[in-house]
Structure 1
Amino acid sequence: MSTPMDGTVGLARLVQNASILRIATSVIVILLIRFFVRGFYRAYLSPLAHLPGPKISAATRIPSILASWKGEYHLYVGRLHEEYGDVVRITPDEVSFIDPQSWKDTQGRAASKTKGVKGSMPDKYWYRYGTSVNGSPSLINARNEQEHARMRRIFNPAFSERALKQQEPLFMNYVNQLVQILQEGIKEDPNRKFNLVKLYNFTTFDVMGDLTFGESLHMLDSGKYDPWVTNIFGSLRIGTKIGAMMHYPILWRLFKMLIPEKMMKKRYAHFQHSVERVTKRLEKGRESEGTDLWDLVLDQQEGKGLTRGEMDSNSSLFMIAGTETTATLVSGLTYLLIKNPDKYAKLKEEVRTAFQEQDMHMEAVAALPYLNACIKEALRVYPPVPNALPRQAAPDGSTVAGTYVPPGTIISVPHLAMYKSEKNFRRAREFIPERWLGDEEFKDDAKHALQPFHIGSRDCLGKNMAYHEMRLIMAKVVYNFDYEICPESDKWISQPTYTLWQKHPLMVKVRAANASQ
């Protein structure tokens, strides 16, 4: 039986609920008004409003974030450049350039002579996520130029041509092991399918493990990924998505509050693996048997060397930068050669007639013109780092490829979009190594647009090592084997990107070279 008091309580609740609804509605309306007003300002009134690009991308970062989450950011940027030209505004505060001059204006020495470019640094969001677990800087995330230069001077001797020649037996050991695994596999089963992505990764990670820690990861021996390496691959995908959230401070703070403790512990445990390996290597001191990275770095100490934290952070960096990118390139080149049999035939002819296998060494392989052209063309068609490593305009602004960019603007120079532009390369979407060998048809190509290792003081320290390793791997496998792609890998190169390519298995059948002649 209801009473007047029950009615009063019910009415009060209705009023209270109505008030909450009105407040919630007001908040939503205010947020929507703010969203549209800010979007209108960004698209039509901001200092970047005059630059070409879709108004929706100028108004909000949502299209860019959606593309990143789907692994299609490289396609998103490429489409915008195809439609709008060399300079495109791709987010409210980011401008992308594919004019080759952009390299010098943002990273080269010429930048110091260009208004405002000197001192411009990679985008703060990229650096924020790029901070090492232990807080110590590495070569890739040191913001201070003097700090970066000091570390670079210490590591330079370890990546010099002299050092690489000393390390040649180490490279040859693992490349020969790769060849042996393929030879034994086809002896056991001539119709066996091999996943070359996996085998190439095993090779490059074992090499870098030996160079960085003085001990192989033994993945070629076991035929399995080390769990530590598996975690690296998983972190790239997660890291890309986390990076997108960092553009929204409230969302980012909420995420950090809610992030599972288990995830953070996993990240620290992963980094600790590097710490333990470095400790083990340092305890050995100067090695007498051979020369790895630490033999040369320890020679540089005497009060001016690396802190222990810097050793750990850089070791972790080398195990990603010096492995996955190299394996990606040789995987891509293998696929492109198989899909272009005329180019594959030319390379086989060059490699198999240049020398006997026992005479194959770094200098001899480096002198093969068609092999070098194939590697360059693969770096153009399938660059291991397809997107940009963003920089930020200087406090007084920057001028890039003739376009003035206001202070604080994020500046991007995306690899894949630049290399696939018909303005820079004729028949840009085709794999044509001859363009690097003086073919008259490609005389107008902007060959200086190809900068897969970047330029300037922050170019890739290990580029010479990468070239030697790529040439040795490709020369060895092309000398010994013929590949036939399996149907399931026919469209292999269509892949998503999360910082790096998310490679599918590259399944091939292998025949010994002498069995194919």
Structure 2
Amino acid sequence: MFQVVLGGASALFAHHVFFIHGEWHLSVHHIVLAHVFVALYLFYFSNQNHDTLGRAISCACLAIIGYLGTLLGSMSIYRLFFHKVSHFPGPRLASITKFWHIYQIRDSKNYLFQRRLHENSAIFTRDEFEHKERRKVWTQSLSTKAMDSLRPRIAQQAESPYRCIKGYGDQPVDVDEVMSWFSFDAMGEVVFGEDFNLMDSRTMHPAILHRDRALAVLGPISDAIWIARLAFSFIPFYGRVKDWFRMVAFCDERMRARMEVGIVLHRGPKEGKPDMASWFIEEHQRLASSMNSRARSLLLSGTATSAVVAGSDTTRASLIATWWYLSKYPEHADRVYMEIRDVNIRDANILATLPHLNGVINEVLRLVPPAMTGGGRITGPDGLLIDNTLIPPFTKVTAPKYVIMRSTKLRIH
């Protein structure tokens, strides 16, 4: 009995002193290793203080059962009755464990599940300074001036799908495949100043396959990212987890190759093709006085990976959705064609004035947002007030685009 009480007391201490404060998903592998070490020491200590091995194992197991049982019970009671958002509407099992949510979206269709959830209930930067600093670089790399230097290259590249699709003749066209080639080529041009020539070679880059398999892993566990952290730490050699590291390795390798070229900005004197990587490399060099080498390398790796995924996967999804809707509603394809047939399609300013073309683009993005759900955010120290409902400070919130864009409540005035 003493062992159970000791384990329970340890669980209460661990939960209320440590686990309910802050976020622990980045340290989950350390937590697991610490618990394994304590469990092994407990078995060793019990063995030293009991005459038989069976008695030692029994006492150690009682302590572990007391710890785990009390920890789970304490977490459940706290989340059901004492958590700062326990009074918010929603499924009660969801407040106890993330595994309930993971089970509900095991088919990776979180956007559909959240839409059903919002029909019945639910209301709809972590570090402000760091967020502003990181956002500044992205804003500069995607500014109007930066885009002006990229548009001629993008316009030239946009002609490649026409040539590629024309080459199929009367044969069916795998739009998913073609748009995967095009979006990856376009991403390479914008991010690294490099065309991977997938449209001309009609081959699938290995990085695309690694990316798709890696992102598929995150589908059902996107709201419990600590599971992915465990996989990254303990089974990096396994299947799709390995694909994740291969995708990151590709991004790192392209960034290293790009760093050898140096910074090429439209405001600089150096000859070359301006790209987003120049801004990221410039930031990497600028932070040398305030961050150590490893931290800067990890930041650059994360930035490169984000740019590659966001620049290729979301573009592909939007283009495929556009093809699908124009095929289903050919009358709108005809109207778009009538708008663009007598204008310079290389002039982005003219294209921006065409009402039906832009209407189709905006409606496709509304119906099928590239990021159906989107990532979570943490409310600030003052919380967040939405329609007279206060969301407490430091609470994770999500604004799922698929749900919001299809909500009939948006049409109520």
Q: TM-score, normalised by structure 2?
A: 0.71
Q: Report the Cα distance in structure 2 between the residues aligned to 1:157 and 1:44, rounded to whole angstroms.
A: 46
Q: Report the Cα distance in structure 2 between the residues aligned to 1:266 and 1:337, rounded to whole angstroms.
A: 34
Quick one: which of 240, 248, 253 aligns to 1:276?
Answer: 253
Quick one: which of 349, 353, 363 aligns to 1:363?
Answer: 349
Q: 1:181 corresponds to which letter in structure 2?
A: C
Residue 305 of structure 2 is aligned to residue 316 of structure 1:
yes
Judge conservation of contact 1:347–1:370 (CA < 8 Å) in 2: no
Q: Report the Cα distance in structure 1 between the residues aligned to 2:395 and 2:284, rounded to whole angstroms.
A: 39
Unaligned ranges ≥5, structure 1: 1-14, 89-95, 98-119, 122-142, 426-443, 446-517
Q: Report the Cα distance in structure 1 between the residues aligned to 2:168 and 2:55, rounded to whole angstroms.
A: 73
Residue 210 of structure 2 is aligned to residue 173 of structure 1:
no
Judge conservation of contact 1:245–1:252 (CA < 8 Å) in 2: no
> Quick check: which one's helix share is greater?
2
Secondary structure of 1:424's aligned partner: helix
Quick one: which of 360, 363, 379 aligns to 1:377?
Answer: 363
Secondary structure of 1:330's aligned partner: helix
Per the alignment, residue 484 of structure 1 pairs with: none
Q: Report the Cα distance in structure 2 between the residues aligned to 1:166 and 1:387, rounded to whole angstroms.
A: 32
Shift of residue 238 of structure 1? Answer: 2.1
Q: Report the Cα distance in structure 1 between the residues aligned to 2:112 and 2:141, rounded to whole angstroms.
A: 37
Shift of residue 277 of structure 1? Answer: 2.4
Q: Report the Cα distance in structure 2 between the residues aligned to 1:51 and 1:265, rounded to whole angstroms.
A: 39
For 1:143-154, what aligned pairs fall within 5 Å after superposition?
A: 143=127, 145-154=128-137
Q: Report the Cα distance in structure 1 between the residues aligned to 2:134 and 2:303, rounded to whole angstroms.
A: 9
Q: Deviations over 1:334-359 (max 9, x none)?
A: 212322x2xx3134224324443755
Shift of residue 381 of structure 1? Answer: 1.1
| Matched residue count | 349
Secondary structure of 2:167's aligned partner: helix
Q: Deviations over 1:217-236 (max 9, x none)?
A: 22112212211221111111
Quick one: which of 349, 372, 392 aligns to 2:335?
Answer: 349
Secondary structure of 1:394's aligned partner: coil
RMSD between aligned alpha carbons?
Answer: 3.7
Q: Deviations over 1:421-456 (max 9, x none)?
A: 11114xxxxxxxxxxxxxxxxxx57xxxxxxxxxxx
Q: 2:259 corresponds to which letter in structure 1?
A: L
Quick one: which of 234, 237, 250 aligns to 2:213?
Answer: 234
Structure 1 residues 58 and 183, CA, compared in 2 at 3 Å: closer, same or farther? same
Residue 199 of structure 2 is aligned to residue 220 of structure 1:
yes
Q: Report the Cα distance in structure 1 between the residues aligned to 2:406 and 2:388, rounded to whole angstroms.
A: 21
Shift of residue 267 of structure 1? Answer: 4.9
> Quick check: which one's strand share is greater?
1
Shift of residue 38 of structure 1? Answer: 4.4
Q: Which has the higher contact order (CA 8 A, sep 6+)?
A: 1
Unaligned ranges ≥5, structure 2: 1-51, 265-269
Structure 1 residues 380 and 35, CA, compared in 2 at 3 Å: closer, same or farther? same
Q: Report the Cα distance in structure 2 between the residues aligned to 1:22 and 1:311, rounded to whole angstroms.
A: 50
Q: Report the Cα distance in structure 2 between the residues aligned to 1:280 and 1:378, rounded to whole angstroms.
A: 36
Q: Report the Cα distance in structure 2 between the residues aligned to 1:27 and 1:297, rounded to whole angstroms.
A: 48
Per the alignment, residue 114 of structure 2 pairs with: 77
Judge conservation of contact 1:351–1:368 (CA < 8 Å) in 2: no
Secondary structure of 1:423's aligned partner: helix
**Higher mean Cα deviation, 394-403 or 239-248?**
239-248
For 1:53-92, what aligned pairs fall within 5 Å after superposition?
A: 53-84=90-121, 88=122
Judge conservation of contact 2:321–2:364 (CA < 8 Å) in 1: yes
Per the alignment, residue 338 of structure 1 pairs with: 327
Q: 2:148 corresponds to which letter in structure 1?
A: K
Per the alignment, residue 48 of structure 2 pairs with: none
Q: 2:351 corresponds to which letter in structure 1?
A: V
Q: Report the Cα distance in structure 1 between the residues aligned to 2:145 and 2:371, rounded to whole angstroms.
A: 27
Q: Report the Cα distance in structure 2 between the residues aligned to 1:252 and 1:153, rounded to whole angstroms.
A: 28
Per the alignment, residue 201 of structure 1 pairs with: 180
Structure 1 residues 200 and 64, CA, compared in 2 at 3 Å: closer, same or farther? same
Q: Report the Cα distance in structure 2 between the residues aligned to 1:201 and 1:257, rounded to whole angstroms.
A: 30
Per the alignment, residue 189 of structure 2 pairs with: 210
Judge conservation of contact 1:381–1:419 (CA < 8 Å) in 2: yes
Secondary structure of 1:399's aligned partner: strand
**Higher mean Cα deviation, 237-246 or 156-165?**
237-246
Secondary structure of 2:397's aligned partner: strand
Per the alignment, residue 259 of structure 1 pairs with: 235
Q: 1:212 corresponds to which letter in structure 2?
A: V
Q: Report the Cα distance in structure 1 between the residues aligned to 2:63 and 2:141, rounded to whole angstroms.
A: 62
Secondary structure of 1:166's aligned partner: helix
Q: 1:259 corresponds to which letter in structure 2?
A: I
For 1:76-155, what aligned pairs fall within 5 Å after superposition?
A: 76-84=113-121, 88=122, 96-97=123-124, 120-121=125-126, 143=127, 145-155=128-138
Shift of residue 331 of structure 1? Answer: 0.9
Judge conservation of contact 1:64–1:76 (CA < 8 Å) in 2: no
Judge conservation of contact 1:42–1:58 (CA < 8 Å) in 2: yes
Per the alignment, residue 418 of structure 1 pairs with: 404
Judge conservation of contact 2:213–2:243 (CA < 8 Å) in 1: no
Shift of residue 20 of structure 1? Answer: 6.7
Q: Report the Cα distance in structure 1 between the residues aligned to 2:72 and 2:284, rounded to whole angstroms.
A: 54
Shift of residue 268 of structure 1? Answer: 4.9
Residue 382 of structure 2 is aligned to residue 405 of structure 1:
no
Per the alignment, residue 390 of structure 1 pairs with: 376
